[in-house]
């Protein structure tokens, strides 16, 4: 399978992205997801079709994200043409498309979608990218790009119950840690995902604790 076609497509689609969902984020997701799959499945081959499916999903997932894509349906149509050209079978194309269309946090607030095994690793890796040092950097980059305050003690964290509320409510970047990021560890699908999510969440909790201590000086 020709992953070079995939990476070229993603670079073009995300070339102007500056909120933490760029090509390099997709590359990290692809690499982390495939590494966790190989760690959890020692008999699997690094050049297997499963690893290629996982990497394709990792690279492509944010090309259709509603936060940064003006016309997701148009990009989905392009991906449907691209994947067969990169030697993915019809069933593999279906798995990849189902994953990238149903893996996001917002899509799963009201209904939990059961992803294929490949998608579980991609989803875990994407969520892990929201944790740890990288997650902290991406959270503040995204918040700044959207005009969110770093923190405001008058704005309390909310319990998220719907996609629309998640997208439209007033939030601060620190609230985002409480509303979403600290929850991700409990949402992991895979053994490798759970282990890495715990490590990064502990780092992030220490950061927020220090932030709040410095805020109250």
**Per-residue model confidence as pLDDT tens digits over 18-52:** 999 999 999 999 999 999 999 999 999 999 999 99
> Is 164's pLDDT higher than 90?
no
What does the pLDDT average to over 91-105?
97
160 has pLDDT over 90:
no
Please count the other Cβ atoms lying within 10 Å of the Cβ belonging to residue 97.
Answer: 17
Q: pLDDT tens for residues 50-86?
A: 999 999 999 999 999 988 899 999 999 999 999 999 9
Reported confidence tier of residue 166, pLDDT bands at 50, 70, 90: confident
């Amino acid at each position: 399978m020709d992953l070079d076609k995939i990476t070229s497509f993603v670079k073009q689609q995300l070339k102007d992205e500056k909120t933490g969902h760029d090509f390099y984020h997709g590359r990290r997701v692809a690499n982390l997801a495939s590494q966790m799959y190989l760690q959890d499945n020692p008999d699997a081959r690094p050049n297997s079709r499963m690893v290629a499916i996982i990497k394709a999903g990792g690279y492509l997932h944010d090309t259709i994200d509603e936060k940064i894509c003006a016309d997701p349906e148009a990009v989905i149509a392009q991906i449907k043409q691209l994947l067969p050209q990169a030697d993915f079978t019809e069933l593999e194309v279906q798995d990849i498309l189902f994953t990238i269309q149903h893996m996001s946090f917002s899509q799963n607030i009201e209904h939990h979608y059961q992803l294929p095994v490949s998608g579980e690793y991609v989803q875990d890796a994407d969520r892990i990218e929201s944790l740890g040092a990288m997650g902290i950097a991406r959270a503040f980059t995204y918040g700044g790009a959207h005009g969110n305050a770093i923190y405001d003690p008058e704005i309390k964290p909310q319990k998220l119950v719907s996609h629309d509320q998640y997208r439209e409510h007033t939030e601060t970047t620190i609230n985002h840690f409480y509303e979403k990021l600290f929850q991700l560890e409990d949402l992991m699908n895979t053994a490798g995902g759970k282990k890495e999510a715990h490590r990064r969440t502990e780092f992030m909790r220490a950061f927020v604790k220090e932030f709040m201590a410095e805020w109250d000086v």
